[in-house]
Structure 1
Amino acid sequence: MTTQDPSSSTTSAVSAPSRALQGILCIEIGMLFFVVQDAMMKSLLLSYPIWMLLFIRSVVSIVVLVPLILFLGGPHKLRSPFTHIHFMRGALFATGFSLFYTAFPFMGLAEVTTIFFSAPLITALMAAFWLKETIGPHRIGALAVGFVGVVIAVNPTGDGFSLIALLPLACAVTYSASQILVRTIGEQESSLTVGLHTLGWSGVLILPMGWLVNQLVSATLDYPHLHLTYPEAGLSQWPLLVLLGATGMCGYIFLSRAYQVANASLVAPFDYTYLPLATALGYFVFSEVPGINTLIGMALIVSGGLYLGFRELRATRHTDDTPVVAETVFAPASPHPTQIPEDENLS
């Protein structure tokens, strides 16, 4: 009769990464990449149209991800059985973030991103409705506080209110839907595969979308960043354009990984790390000073999100953390992972 080496099982249990902590760490790194990306985007919109910048971001992602997937092998694949989901996510990304960046020339970085950060709240609600993740009274209270903050930040009754402020809110809805979709894939695909297909489809769709907008909306004549024309700057800043694409790709991969390995309602509140970083960057780089309503709204949004995250961490502290399936970084010599069951709903 064979006996199991207790030391090996202990080592395996210790080395198995915490799914909750892994998701939080991935989302924090992703937010750091996205802050840098958006600051670059705000600067480049002075010379380049939105459509071109988003297209370049997708092209760079494909150029990097295809050879990387071929080299790493393992769970990373070029083909996917979830093409319909990736297409929907690509369409949501192209639509949502074209709206998001449309607001950049008219609003400060802190104002745009504070409104957009209703997304984690919307994600938590969508997760409860579609994924059947439990949402109790504490979560409802935290979400209510956060949504009050969003209303204060948008300030629909204020003299300075503009419909432009609804663009980042619309992006928040599309963003939340895209994260719920990636959760339906779970860990059946690696983050690199998910990133390749979603960013690839968004790149395919963004230029036709820009053409359609220019055909239907004559107002784009007043806003150069919405034109679908080759800019006077050409590709003179191509190193910066490539860096923009690489930064967005890295942020996206870490973000997708977070939603693949942990409950959506757990990791979503940690998106809020972006807000203080974006506010500081807007102040030091663009000399933007957010209004009092933005700061109050931001404080409420962050408070609600942090409390929600605290409750989630308490709920998952005693759960069984199992090893992840599709490692984002998969070394050729590491063992092939095996399928594991879906996370249990959090209480």
Structure 2
Amino acid sequence: MTVSTHTAGPPMSRTLQGIVCVVAGMVLFVGQDLLMKGMLTIYPVWMLIFVRSVVALLTLLPLVLWLGAPHRISTPLWPWYLARAVLFAGGFAMFYAAFPFMGLAEVTTLFFAAPLMTATLAAVFLQEKIGIHRILALLVGFLGVVIAVNPTGGSFGWVSILPVMTALTYAISQTIVRKIGEQDTSLVIGLYTISLSGVVIIPIGFAVTQMIEITPELIHLRMTWPVPSFDGLGMLALLGAIGTVAYTLVSRAYQIANASVIAPFDYSYLPLAALLGYLVWGEVPHFTTFVGMVLIVSSGMYTAYRELRIEREANDNPPTAQTVFTPGAPAVILVDALDAEAADPEQEVPSRE
């Protein structure tokens, strides 16, 4: 009698798993922003950011409490996290405020100036050394931003500045993370930042509505929040859930694979945004947007390569929150803690039964 045996194929390498996770995360982030753009026709920006923060809080807080040390709820760094929350809330309010006026690819291309700005701010304010190669890469990237903004074009206006301002606020918040170092885990940093963002977005929205006239074209900036229907509640919950899963996938990618391999795949967001923007709304980015996109991506990937190579040589890898630059993502790290205890065999691992 012959017994047939089934031999499983070789397991997927950790590098390939990381690539799959980050690309899947980028797909979900594009989906999140597509959903956000569609829901702006019904709900104001402030309400969507608030709801997304509540959903993330309901996920992150139990996780921090469950995992325990080294994650902590009480932290003396909360003033820094409050500053980051203001930057995130105000910055991404500007990001989403531009959605009704610009194509998804155009908005996100300008946002991806954030890694370039972070490198520049770190060099100026934190005295991080950058060589001639990265200086040239930064100049190329900023040239890409100028071309993408297209200030000489007839369509240039105040809206074109909003994604650039978002990139600047995001870069400042990332510089804060570098300044405070690793005194708290990335999970705690994410918990405080996104939770407080949901709180501070309310006074920010109120202040904006007092300073500008809410015309029909700016209806997505109104402060009146409609009561969602049952289906609307489902869509709002889906918005927060998609973002949370996407954060998890991207965080997992940086946890299991080398960051120098994973980082370039963050830029897969841009062609995905351009493609889905075309398929869903028929958006065709201007030629200058494509040129700027190529320059920004090339500069960002080269800058990341130089930074990661130097950090590998120094054996001082940065926290994941410093390496993930994704539109709409406050660098929340959900899974970096799940395997952290394994690095210290003496530390007691909490039960997960």
Q: Please list every run of 5 or more consecutive structure 1 residues that lacks an aligned counterpart in the other structure.
A: 1-16, 339-347
AA matched with 1:330? L
| 1:212 maps to 2:207 | yes
> What is the aligned counterpart of 1:329 among 309, 333, 337?
337
Change (3 A) 1:321 1:172: closer
AA matched with 1:175? Y
> What is the aligned counterpart of 1:70 among 53, 65, 90?
65
Look up the SS of the partner of 2:89 in the other structure.
Answer: helix
Change (3 A) 1:221 1:80: farther
Q: Is the contact between residue 19 and residue 262 of structure 2 (CA under 8 Å) also seen in structure 1?
A: yes
| 1:36 maps to 2:20 | no
Instruction: Compute the displacement of 1:66 (Å).
Output: 1.4
Instruction: Compute the displacement of 1:187 (Å).
Output: 2.5
Q: Is the contact between residue 251 and residue 336 of structure 2 (CA under 8 Å) also seen in structure 1?
A: no
| 1:147-203 CA distance string (max 9 Å, x none) | 111111100111111211001111110010111112223322222211111111111
Change (3 A) 1:319 1:267: farther
Alignment of 1:254-273 (within 5 A): 271-273=266-268
Alignment of 1:195-274 (within 5 A): 195-220=190-215, 222-231=217-226, 233-234=228-229, 236-251=231-246, 271-274=266-269
Q: Please list every run of 5 or more consecutive structure 2 residues that lacks an aligned counterpart in the other structure.
A: 1-13, 321-332, 347-353
Q: What is the alpha-carbon distance in structure 2 between the residues aligned to residue 174 and residue 227 of structure 1?
A: 22
Q: What is the alpha-carbon distance in structure 2 between the residues aligned to residue 170 and residue 324 of structure 1?
A: 24
Change (3 A) 1:157 1:235: farther
**More deviation, 49-58/279-288:** 279-288
Partner residue, 1:145: 140
Q: What is the alpha-carbon distance in structure 1 between the residues aligned to residue 124 and residue 45 of structure 2?
A: 33
Give the superposed CA RMSD: 3.7
Alignment of 1:122-201 (within 5 A): 122-201=117-196
Q: Is the contact between residue 105 and residue 273 of structure 2 (CA under 8 Å) also seen in structure 1?
A: yes
Q: What is the alpha-carbon distance in structure 1 between the residues aligned to residue 74 and residue 304 of structure 2?
A: 35
Partner residue, 1:121: 116
Q: Is the contact between residue 113 and residue 167 of structure 2 (CA under 8 Å) also seen in structure 1?
A: yes
Partner residue, 2:105: 110
Q: What is the alpha-carbon distance in structure 2 between the residues aligned to residue 118 and residue 272 of structure 1?
A: 11
Aligned-residue identity in percent: 52
Q: Is the contact between residue 94 and residue 165 of structure 2 (CA under 8 Å) also seen in structure 1?
A: yes
Partner residue, 1:308: 303
**More deviation, 268-277/127-136:** 268-277
Look up the SS of the partner of 2:231 in the other structure.
Answer: coil
**More deviation, 299-308/108-117:** 299-308
Q: What is the alpha-carbon distance in structure 2 between the residues aligned to residue 306 and residue 142 of structure 1?
A: 9
Change (3 A) 1:333 1:199: closer
**More deviation, 30-39/294-303:** 30-39
| 1:54 maps to 2:49 | yes
Instruction: Compute the displacement of 1:313 (Å).
Output: 4.3
Q: Is the contact between residue 260 and residue 308 of structure 2 (CA under 8 Å) also seen in structure 1?
A: no
Change (3 A) 1:54 1:76: same
Look up the SS of the partner of 1:167 in the other structure.
Answer: helix
Q: Is the contact between residue 214 and residue 222 of structure 2 (CA under 8 Å) also seen in structure 1?
A: no
Partner residue, 1:4: none
Instruction: Compute the displacement of 1:139 (Å).
Output: 0.5
**More deviation, 29-38/154-163:** 29-38
AA matched with 1:114? T
| 1:22-72 CA distance string (max 9 Å, x none) | 999997676444322211111111111101000001111111111111112
Q: Is the contact between residue 254 and residue 262 of structure 2 (CA under 8 Å) also seen in structure 1?
A: yes
Q: Is the contact between residue 87 and residue 198 of structure 1 (CA under 8 Å) also seen in structure 2?
A: yes
Q: Is the contact between residue 74 and residue 332 of structure 1 (CA under 8 Å) also seen in structure 2?
A: no
* Alignment coverage as a number of residue pairs: 320
Q: Is the contact between residue 72 and residue 331 of structure 1 (CA under 8 Å) also seen in structure 2?
A: no
TM-score of the superposed pair, with normalisation by structure 1: 0.80
Q: What is the alpha-carbon distance in structure 2 between the residues aligned to residue 213 and residue 236 of structure 1?
A: 29
